[in-house]
Amino acid sequence: MLPNVMKSGDSLSRAMGGSASLWLGLCLTHSCVLPFAFWNVNNDIKGENGSPTQFNTRPLPPLTPTTSHIMGGKALKHCILRRINAAEYASFTFRVLTIVRRHYVHVDVPHSFPTKLDHGDLDVVVSVPLTDVPARVDLPSDVVIRGKLVPRTRAIANEFQSKEVFANGPVISFESEQFQVDLIHVRPEEFAFACAYLSWGDLGNMIGIVANRLGMSYGSEGLAIRVFSPRHGNSGRTGRVELTADVGEALEFLGYNAERWKRGFENREDVFAYVVSGAYFEPWMFLRRNMNNRNRRRIRKRPMFDAFLGYLRGRFPDEGGGERDETHEESAESGEKNDYNDDGDDGDDDSRDAHHELTPLQLQHRARALERFGKQVEYQAYMNRYERGILVKERWTPAVRNIQETRGLKDKALGQFIATYRETKVGKEGNGEAGRTWEDWVMAQESAENIVRDMVVHFDSVWRLRGE
């Protein structure tokens, strides 16, 4: 079982997936001056008097790209970006973390492969902004800003000396030294799982598809089950039951060896072998025709994912593993990173898939998950609330339709009338029915006709007299 909180002091090491000694060796090999940096990366850099040193805001020397002007991440559109080699990436990561740790309580870099020769961007997972709010910073007029920036983001952009910033939901992308930095904001309870999910390239995405075929979602928020409408199949989501936020528990439940995961992976071939080692893995799970649109789009954007399909074709030629889709011509490099919050959707992403019922295999594993994690009561509570909501709507809708037709209410006037009418049915302190909800009142009526008559009486005797 993996710990919920990752060890401190290994952020810079995990940036290349290796140990501190590996980092030291790499930095010395490439003449990269990082004396003792990785031993204390989780702590503020202290001056002689114990106070944090000021980060040097003078322009840093430009990084030497391994290949000029090759794009890494695709979120930034209005600046030159490049790939950098492993040693430069180590130095750059240290400088970035020095800045970011001044602004957030939790900061970490997901694992990447130690054999990776160059990098196109840097992902930094962050959570819980520090309480001190930076003063508003006016960025230079030539900085390209896309999206709304809060003061903290502006302060970081200023320290990064960014030429472009893109705020896209929980992901903020910055240009710094012609390199892309993505700050990925997550809730504190999801921090460890998000770091794990984003580690080792597309491993999290791949395990997410296995979970998907078992009727669950495995994503940056943990392992979960969505609750679907029994009346509308997968087209209606009624809730989400969180199974576990412990990476080890999630992996073991999905049929994977968590201890092997903790040892890490040297390269993507190690990851491919790990994915197919799962107790519930089947090659058909990765057939494009068995994926929803979200996962098909993900493959087109992720070269490692596409390489995995090639691996499956070679390893399982007789089982159609990852069959080639000759129809799509979109480059695997295209598109922005926008799937940090993608939680391994469990089968209902779009209209094409919307009415597909859960398969017997999915129903079997969902039941196993609810029992294993003790979530049957929570799941049933969602189902009960859904059924109650359907009954309330069935009883309530005829009354609304009747008041529209017989009293001519519509649009804003109809909305105002319904709001005040519902308010009269909610229990108040001192009237003997404190705590009664609108739904309670509807369900207490003998029939929909009773509600129709009551609403008409309210309109004629109260609403009309108010001159509304």
Query: Each residue of 112-123: pLDDT tens digit?
Result: 999 999 999 999
| Domain range for 404 | 380-463
Q: Is residue 259 part of a domain?
A: yes
Cα dihedral 122, 123, 127, 133 sign: positive
Residue 288 is predicted with a pLDDT of: 78
Regarding whether 183 and 234 lie in a shared domain, the answer is no
Domain boundary among 156, 190, 224: 190
Regarding whether 399 and 301 lie in a shared domain, the answer is no
Residue 321 is predicted with a pLDDT of: 53
Q: Is residue 36 part of a domain?
A: yes
The yes-or-no verdict on residue 84 having pLDDT over 70 is: yes
Regarding whether 415 and 277 lie in a shared domain, the answer is no
Q: Is residue 452 part of a domain?
A: yes
Q: Report the range of poorest mean pLDDT among 10-24, 69-83, 109-123, 267-281.
A: 10-24
Domain boundary among 373, 407, 437: 373
Residue 323: helix, strand or coil by DSSP? coil
Q: Give the whole-angstrom CA distance, residue 272 versus residue 305.
A: 9
Q: What is the pLDDT of residues 25-83, one digit of tens each?
A: 333 333 333 322 332 333 333 333 343 333 333 343 343 333 333 334 578 888 999 99
More confidently predicted of 125 and 3: 125
Q: Is residue 288 part of a domain?
A: yes
Regarding whether 186 and 52 lie in a shared domain, the answer is yes
The yes-or-no verdict on residue 420 having pLDDT over 80 is: yes
The yes-or-no verdict on residue 3 having pLDDT over 80 is: no
Residue 131 is predicted with a pLDDT of: 85
Regarding whether 17 and 107 lie in a shared domain, the answer is yes
Q: Is residue 5 part of a domain?
A: no
Domain boundary among 190, 225, 250: 190
Residue 464 is predicted with a pLDDT of: 74
Regarding whether 430 and 350 lie in a shared domain, the answer is no
Q: What is the pLDDT of residues 169-226, one digit of tens each?
A: 999 999 999 999 999 999 999 999 999 999 999 999 999 999 999 999 999 999 999 9
Q: What is the pLDDT of residues 288-345, one digit of tens each?
A: 777 767 777 767 778 898 899 999 999 998 765 545 544 333 333 333 444 554 544 4
How many CA atoms does the CB half-sphere of 145 hold within 13 Å? 15
Other C-beta atoms closer than 10 Å to the C-beta of 363 total: 12
The CATH number covering residue 30 comes to: 3.30.460.10
Regarding whether 172 and 98 lie in a shared domain, the answer is yes
Distances (CA, A) of 266 to 17, 248, 263: 8, 20, 10
Q: What is the pTM of this model?
A: 0.73
Domains identified in the chain, total number: 3
The fraction of the chain above a pLDDT of 90, given in percent, is 50
The yes-or-no verdict on residue 346 having pLDDT over 60 is: no
Q: Is residue 6 part of a domain?
A: no
The yes-or-no verdict on residue 266 having pLDDT over 80 is: yes
Q: Is residue 1 part of a domain?
A: no
Regarding whether 396 and 279 lie in a shared domain, the answer is no
Confidence of residue 250 (pLDDT cuts 50, 70, 90): very high
Angle at 184 between CA 183 and CA 188, to 5 degrees: 125
